Chains A and B, each alone.
Chain A
Amino acid sequence: MSSLPGWKALPPGCPVQEPLSAHKNHTGSWRSERPLWNHDHCVKCGVCDMFCPEACIKANAEGFYLANLDYCKGCGICMMECPTQCISMKQEEE
């Protein structure tokens, strides 16, 4: 049985009252490549964070950047923009 609501359970027009409910939709499942950081070359500039269209790249406790793979779609923009070229894209199936 599906846990998704049937049509009768939907309020007219499907308005949403729960803030940030879109977070439940893990769009990272669309990804075919994932970004990998070589932190040996990372200068912690944050350009990858600024350019990420999903806003899913955040710094960890040491200040190094990583993508939240629940939402990263593997677009590769972080890899293209990284000034030290410390990001590479790896096929998911590898």
Chain B
Amino acid sequence: MGTRKGMEVSIGIAEAAMMANVDVIPAYPITPQTHIVEHLAELVADGHLDAEFVPVESEHSAMSAACGSMAAGARTFTATASQGLALMHEILFIASGMRLPIVMAVANRALSAPISIWNDHGDVMAERDTGWLQVFVENGQEAYDHVLWCHRVAEDHDVLLPIMLNFDGFILSHVVEPIEVWSPEEVKQFLPDYVPPYRLDVDNPWTFGAVGIPDIYAETRMAHNEALTDSQKVMEKAWNELSEVVGRKYHAVESYKTDDADIVFLIMGSVAETCMTACDQLREAGKKAGVVRIRMWRPFPFAEIAKELGGRKVVVAVDRALSTGGCGGPMASEVKGALYHLDKRPQVIEFIAGLGGRDITIGDFMDMYDKGVAVASGGALPRYELLGVRA
């Protein structure tokens, strides 16, 4: 049984990386991820973690060094946010294409311009198609557990893909929460050592990242896509085993009070917790609200979305990013795409909320619920709405 401690979520993520006994940490500090790499640098400097901390000159270099260390067979962890993630962009495809199981925590933050250090999901949505596994967590405990879970999943030989652990900047990264830390025995039971199938080795040389001529490139993409899609099986297995070790059970998509709900909210990230509180208050007022939260974003949970939302009348999708000039919210767009093939599909009301750190309050969810009721009662379905924007 682990010990319950009050700690900042960023510190919790760094401590979890230490428990995973990572070998290499190439990292560049950026708000709001800074405390993770600062704490890891301290843990290495103070001798608590036997790892190589590489203080690189940019995020582009951080991801490049992570590719190198992972190709050498070393368990590699890094973290970034926003502009830092954007600067990694071209190397993210190389990490996933070379099937290097890097674990990266992303403290989700808005992109410039204008400069914003505050939370939304614009940064990770711009990296949606980089071929990485991507999951979202809602609180400090989930963040801590999922660092260990991410290494377990990414390094599985049926997966061998890098993974982004998305957690909301400031809302989680700078908040002190009670976190149950794992004992070394629990970690040992859950997370085996990383054994690379092949690695950079002068005695047994391999070439990584060679040219893929037109005769082979499409086959590599097919293999990558199949492995990424199939990784859900390994994810489910790892979530099951995590629950056996520490007693917390996670799912690709999680629902709250949806059984008899007439309006269902759909959301990702920490604001789901505010949404569930709003749901409780709506229920107290006799209104049948429910919440569906997407944890597993890549691979996309098609079966779970069809099961949870297929038979609904109205779904209120709350995105934390905007596809400018496009369909609106990236989450809602994909969910609608997944629902399109079903015989019975709900009307999806789209809101884009909390851009650049704007608070999303319980009252906002009450308003969104009322707009959902209006559509359910035959009102016009708006295209999408940027919530709370002043005229």
Q: Please report A residues at the B interface, Cβ cutoff 8 Å.
A: 4-8, 10-17, 19, 22, 25
> Are A12 and B99 in contact, CB atoms less than 8 angstroms apart?
yes
9 contacts between A and B (CB under 8 A): A5-B219, A7-B222, A10-B220, A12-B227, A13-B97, A14-B210, A15-B198, A15-B207, A25-B211
Question: Which residue on A lies nearest to B225, using beta carbons?
Answer: A7
From A6, A8, A13, A22, contact of B208 by CB (8 A) = A13
B100 in contact (CB, < 8 A): yes
> 15 other contacts beyond A13-B208, A25-B211, with CB at 8 A cut-off?
A5-B216, A6-B219, A7-B219, A10-B216, A10-B223, A11-B198, A12-B99, A12-B160, A12-B197, A13-B99, A14-B212, A15-B198, A15-B208, A15-B210, A16-B206
How near does chain B come to A27, taking the closest CB pair, in angstroms?
A: 9
A8 to chain B, nearest CB (A): 7
B residues in contact with A8, CB < 8 Å: 223
Q: Is the CB–CB distance between B223 and A17 below 8 Å? A: no
- 0/1 string, B167-208, CB within 8 A of A gives 1: 000000000000000000000000000000110000001111
User: CB-CB < 8 A to A5: which residues of B?
Assistant: 216, 219
| Chain B residues, Cβ within 8 Å of A19 | 205
CA distance A7 to B226 in the complex (A): 10
B115 at the interface (CB under 8 A from A): no
Which residue, B205, B210, B212, B223, has most C-beta atoms of chain A within 10 A? B223
Contact B205 A14 (CB under 8 A): no
Give Cα A5 to B223, complex, Å.
12
Task: Choose among A6, A10, A17, A25 the residue that contacts B206 (Cβ–Cβ < 8 A).
Answer: A17
- CB neighbours (8 Å) of B338 from chain A are none
A11–B208 Cα distance when bound, in Å, is: 11
Q: How far is the CA of A44 from the CA of B212 in the complex (A)?
A: 37
Which one of A6, A12, A16, A25 lies within 8 Å of B207 (CB-CB)? A16
Known: A4-B215, A4-B216, A25-B213. A12 touches B208 (CB 8 A): no
Neighbouring A residues of B223 by C-beta, 8 Å? 7-8, 10, 12
Is B98 close to A, CB under 8 A?
A: yes
Q: Which residue of B lies closest to A12 (CB)?
A: B99
CB distance from B315 to the nearest CB of A (A): 36
Number of B positions contacting A (CB below 8 A): 23
B215 CB contacts on chain A under 8 angstroms = 4
Chain A hits for B210, CB < 8 A: 14-16, 22
Of B160, B207, B212, B220, the residue contacting A17 (CB under 8 A) is B207
Q: How far is the CA of A7 from the CA of B215 in the complex (A)?
A: 11
Chain B residue with the shortest CB-CB distance to A25: B213
**Assembly CA distance A14 to B219 (angstroms):** 10
A30 to chain B, nearest CB (A): 11
In the complex, the answer to whether A15 meets B212 with C-beta atoms within 8 Å is no
Of all chain A residues, which has the CB nearest B95?
Answer: A13
| Shortest beta-carbon distance from B69 to chain A in Å | 15
Contact partners of A10 in chain B: CB under 8 A: 216, 219-220, 223
Residues in B whose Cβ lies below 8 Å from that of A4: 215-216, 219
Smallest CB gap from B217: residue in A: A14
Query: Closest residue of chain A to B206, judged by CB?
Result: A15
For A7, list chain B residues within 8 Å (CB): 219-220, 222-223, 226
What chain A residues lie within 8 Å of B226 (beta carbons)? 7
Residues of A within 8 A of B220 (CB): 7, 10, 14
Q: Bound complex: CA of A8 vs CA of B226, how far in Å? A: 9
Chain A proximity of B236: nearest CB distance (Å)? 20
Q: How far is the CA of A17 from the CA of B206 in the complex (A)?
A: 5
* CB pair A11 B219 closer than 8 Å: no
Interface pairs A-B: 6 shortest CB-CB: A13-B99, A7-B222, A7-B219, A12-B99, A16-B207, A13-B98
Complex CA distance for A16 and B100, rounded to whole angstroms? 15
Complex interface: chain B residues within 8 A of A22 (CB): 210-211
Chain A residues whose CB sits within 8 angstroms of the CB of B212 once the complex forms: 14
Complex CA–CA separation, A11 to B99 (angstroms): 10
Verify A17–B205 contact, CB threshold 8 A. yes
Q: Which residues of B contact A14 (CB under 8 A)?
A: 210, 212, 216, 220
B230 to chain A, nearest CB (A): 12
Query: Which residues from chain A contact B160 at a C-beta distance below 8 Å?
Result: 12-13
CA distance A10 to B223 in the complex (A): 7
Question: Smallest distance from the beta carbon of B216 to chain A beta carbons, Å?
Answer: 7
Considering only CB atoms, which chain A residue lies closest to B213 in the complex? A25
